[in-house]
């Protein structure tokens, strides 16, 4: 494939040269752009001969969503750019999810925008990240978040009975699959990553085993979760509170989606199947390496 790929982080476009996967970040050329300046951003993409834009914005506000939509338009204007990976890396958000979680409207705004362009595009659907069960000991750029089990605090709040199947993957493994996407001659509008299918109940067992003691555990009714209530002993700020929802309601609704199939990959056409050589890190490996003996 000719040209470069570009990853987008904050206010910087980072052209990633093909076949040089081992270059350090410090050796990667960075180009600062103003996402409000569509023509200027398009010119920067052309100057760097960017073939593919991989957007990795943290979707936390309308402003960030607007920046991604602007970047899509700029990529469409660029003569060198033909592909765009929409920033998602989450569940398969649909219109029905918009009243429930704010991220859905931002993902779909990007999808609606890119559908109107000449760009070939995809969005990555990968379930939940295992990184959260290893923080702060697991190397990750993700902010703290609780998906049912908090190994650091030795507590868990499981949606329902904790037995719903959920797909998990580390952010590092997800990134490896995104890199392999560049090798596919054609993209589907949705790129699924199955990772490991397990349950919150099994995650809890792994965490208790690693830490060597029983956790404080509560089982939350799905109806309470749907109404925005969850019995966490403490809440992390999510960055999504600017939408008017409380931290409690945000966590509750994400857990409701987790327990009702939102984070279960049902497609057989996955990147795992296309690239079986990519080794998946398991929940056991993340939790044991992060918490054993601590």
Looking at the predicted structure, is the pLDDT value of residue 101 above 50?
yes
Nearest to 50 by CA among 33, 25, 67, 27: 33
Taking the whole predicted model, whether its pTM rises above 0.75 is answered as: yes
Cβ contacts of 268 within 8 Å, gap of 6 or more: none
Work out the mean pLDDT of the chain and round it to a whole number.
91
Q: What mean pLDDT is predicted for residues 119-131? A: 98
d(CA 12, CA 9): 6
- DSSP string covering 208-256: HHHHTSPPEEEEE-HHHHHTT----SS----S-GGGS--HHHHHHHHHH
pLDDT band at 116, cuts 50/70/90?
very high
Q: What are phi and psi of 60, to 5 degrees?
A: -125, -5
Q: Give the CATH fold of the 127-167+195-264+277-293 domain.
A: UDP-galactose 4-epimerase; domain 1 (3.90.25)
Return the SS3 of 24: coil
- Could you state, in order of their start, the residue ranges of all structural domains in the chain? 11-125, 127-167+195-264+277-293
d(CA 52, CA 81): 6
Return the SS3 of 260: coil
Give, for 54, the enclosing helix (H) or strand (E).
strand 50-55
Task: Assign domain 11-125 one CATH number from 3.40.50.720, 1.10.8.350, 3.30.470.20, 2.60.40.1080.
Answer: 3.40.50.720
At 129-185, the pLDDT tens digits run: 999 999 999 999 999 999 999 999 999 999 999 999 999 999 999 999 999 999 999
Looking at the predicted structure, is the pLDDT value of residue 16 above 80?
no
At 28-56, the pLDDT tens digits run: 778 889 999 999 999 999 999 999 999 99
Nearest to 103 by CA among 88, 84, 86, 115: 88
């Amino acid at each position: 494939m000719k040209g470069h790929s570009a990853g987008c982080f904050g206010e910087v476009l980072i052209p990633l040269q093909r076949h040089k996967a081992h270059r350090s970040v410090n050796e990667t050329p960075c180009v600062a752009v103003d996402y409000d300046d569509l023509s200027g951003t398009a010119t920067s993409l052309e100057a760097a001969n960017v073939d593919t834009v991989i957007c990795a914005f943290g979707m936390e506000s309308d402003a960030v969503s607007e920046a991604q939509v602007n970047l899509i338009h700029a990529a469409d204007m660029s003569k060198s750019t033909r592909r765009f990976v929409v920033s998602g890396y989450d569940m398969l958000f649909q219109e029905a999810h918009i009243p429930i979680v704010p991220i859905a409207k931002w993902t779909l705004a990007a999808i609606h925008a890119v559908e109107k362009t000449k760009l070939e595009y995809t969005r990555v659907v990968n379930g939940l990240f295992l990184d959260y069960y290893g923080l702060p000991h697991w190397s990750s750029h993700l902010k703290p978040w609780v998906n049912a089990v908090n190994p650091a605090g030795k507590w868990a709040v499981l949606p329902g009975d904790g037995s719903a199947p959920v797909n998990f993957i580390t952010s590092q493994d997800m990134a490896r699959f995104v890199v392999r996407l560049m090798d596919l001659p054609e993209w589907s509008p949705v790129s699924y990553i199955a990772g490991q299918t397990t349950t919150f109940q099994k995650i809890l067992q792994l965490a208790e085993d690693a830490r060597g003691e029983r956790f404080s555990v509560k089982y939350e009714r799905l109806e309470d979760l749907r109404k925005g209530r969850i019995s966490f002993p403490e809440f992390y700020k999510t960055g999504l509170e600017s939408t008017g929802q409380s931290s409690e309601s945000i966590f509750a609704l994400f857990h409701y989606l987790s327990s009702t199939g939102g984070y279960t990959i049902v497609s057989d056409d996955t990147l795992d199947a296309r690239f079986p050589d990519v080794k998946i890190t398991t929940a056991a490996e993340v939790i044991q390496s992060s918490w054993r003996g601590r």
